A and B are shown apart, each in its own frame.
Chain A
């Protein structure tokens, strides 16, 4: 098969062709490495490319196919891994020069599980420093570029994992999401990104930012690929005491194109044209109609608290991350980019009673959010409430009004609620804005209801053309 066609296939399609011996893992890995060679100097999706390691693993994978071994679900698939996950013998920087000589001796659990399922580590992907999501400075080369428009932002923090999928520089990828770091870049680049339920996926070996919100998850070309990856990486890990012991279903079994009986809620606060870009509102409204056409019942619903979640989540996740970086901030502040350093500083100074109130607000949001799932199987919103701007330098703030405009209540955040309460959420592409940049549809479920989220996402994806479009590179 022609290598340019090969790299356009989904991970699921590739795995089937490898298992049936129509493609060899070496051929597949070489095709992706060629693609990286051709594009990464422009896109900067990778911090480290594992050329020799990947080819060696591909040769072993090929031998397993020839021997007739039982193959894992990800057998022979080149995997891009966010540089936040430790990888045995491979540099792991978390996007920071301060970790420029960190070569771990072991793999993070999710990496080990993906490898055990047959995935081939092809490289470590670009991310904002320490997964902060603040892309105002990049310590490994130029800013990562959006394959749909090289001048447009990709949001953060799993930038490289999303770009790698969108530009076909890996077959499947791993990202991490604290407040939207899987879903935002996936939406910005027109691919699928799933944030699982908090505790569904192990965080052992993943550099943390916010203990109560961080989770790893897949960024992929299709929803089916996300389900395939979840089958490999989800589940209890004795090395992460916060993982759930609930059994892991076969997520690919939940995929269906029939949505009869599925109750969908469309969140008014996140689709209000006063706060959300009109093109984004239109794309999400069209997606809701599409779901109705597939048999789902769609009803607009409201949770006024949603407008305030960003404001009360900030101190909670900020305090978590300020603790993680307390020693670095005191002793090596020059290691941090300015915006991150100032955010950590602000978070270090938040009064205790403010943090306590934010934590109570969190419990309230959680209670009210979960009530919605008594009426709905999934909730819909845009993933990003705005269309993407250009990559630009963030100017220092000199007035209170500037601080309020950039960080204050009402700035609009559709991705924060799911991590704030620990529930799953996924973005799937649902159109393009007038600049030709992707728009993402966010599908959210209750705790451990990934199957419903995946089912709705798969049905939508199967009935629309957006996921099959590729950027002209």
Chain B
């Protein structure tokens, strides 16, 4: 995914009801692009075959299987 532009991030923020100054917009854009690129860069052969469940029932004794 290519980096988002300042204009695109400003549009997203407006749609989310968030107001940004010009200085804030610059920082938010760079930080957002960093977050997205780092996650996009994550790869693992099992990624598409694993369910995105954050936890399992707490009474279960977890053995890592």
Contact = CB atoms under 8 A, between A and B. Distances in A.
A312 B34 CA distance: 11
Contacts of B42: 308, 311-312, 357-358, 361
Interface string B33-64: 11111111110101110111111001101111
A397 B27 contact: yes
Contact of B63 (A341, A356, A370, A400): A370
B58 to A, nearest CB: 4
B51 A403 contact: no
A404 interface: yes
A440 interface: no
B16 A374 contact: no
Contacts of A390: none
A351 interface: yes
A330 B18 contact: yes
A244 interface: yes
Interface string B6-27: 0001001100111110011011
A341 B18 CA distance: 10
A243 B59 CA distance: 9
A416 to B, nearest CB: 13
B7 to A, nearest CB: 14
Contact of B41 (A338, A345, A349, A409): A409
Interface in A163-218: 198-199, 212
Contact of A407 (B9, B24, B34, B46): B34
A330 to B, nearest CB: 4
Contact of B35 (A315, A367, A396): A315
Contact of B31 (A330, A372, A403): A403
B30 A348 contact: no
A358 B34 contact: no
B58 A199 contact: yes
A244 B58 contact: yes
B62 A446 contact: yes
Contact of A244 (B27, B31, B59): B59
A314 B58 contact: no
- Which one of B9, B32, B38, B48 has the highest number of Cβ atoms from chain A below 10 Å of its Cβ? B38
A349 B28 contact: yes
A423 to B, nearest CB: 9
Contacts of B36: 350-351, 354
Contacts, number: 147
Interface in A386-436: 396-400, 402-404, 407-409, 422
A349 B34 contact: no
* Most chain A beta-carbon contacts within 10 A, residue among B33, B39, B47: B39
Nearest to B54: A212
Given A199-B58, A400-B33, A422-B55, A330 B17 contact: yes
Contacts of A341: 24
Contacts of A367: 50, 64
Interface in A330-382: 330, 333, 338, 341-343, 345-346, 348-351, 354, 356-364, 367, 369-374
B27 A400 contact: no
A13 to B, nearest CB: 34
A128 to B, nearest CB: 18
Contacts of B63: 370, 374
Contacts of B64: 367, 369-374, 446
Contacts of B18: 329-330, 333, 345, 348
Given A346-B31, A362-B52, A363-B50, 17 more contacts: A243-B58, A244-B58, A244-B59, A329-B18, A342-B28, A357-B42, A360-B47, A360-B52, A361-B44, A362-B54, A397-B31, A398-B27, A403-B27, A403-B30, A408-B34, A447-B62, A448-B61
25 contacts: A198-B55, A199-B58, A212-B55, A245-B58, A305-B44, A311-B41, A312-B38, A314-B35, A330-B17, A333-B18, A338-B24, A341-B24, A345-B20, A346-B31, A346-B32, A348-B16, A349-B12, A361-B44, A370-B62, A399-B30, A400-B30, A400-B33, A407-B35, A408-B34, A409-B38
Task: For the complex of A and B, list the 6 residue pairs with the smallest distance between their C-beta atoms, beginning with the closest.
Answer: A370-B64, A359-B52, A311-B38, A403-B30, A244-B58, A409-B38
Interface of A: 198-199, 212, 242-246, 305, 308, 311-312, 314-316, 318, 329-330, 333, 338, 341-343, 345-346, 348-351, 354, 356-364, 367, 369-374, 396-400, 402-404, 407-409, 422, 446-448
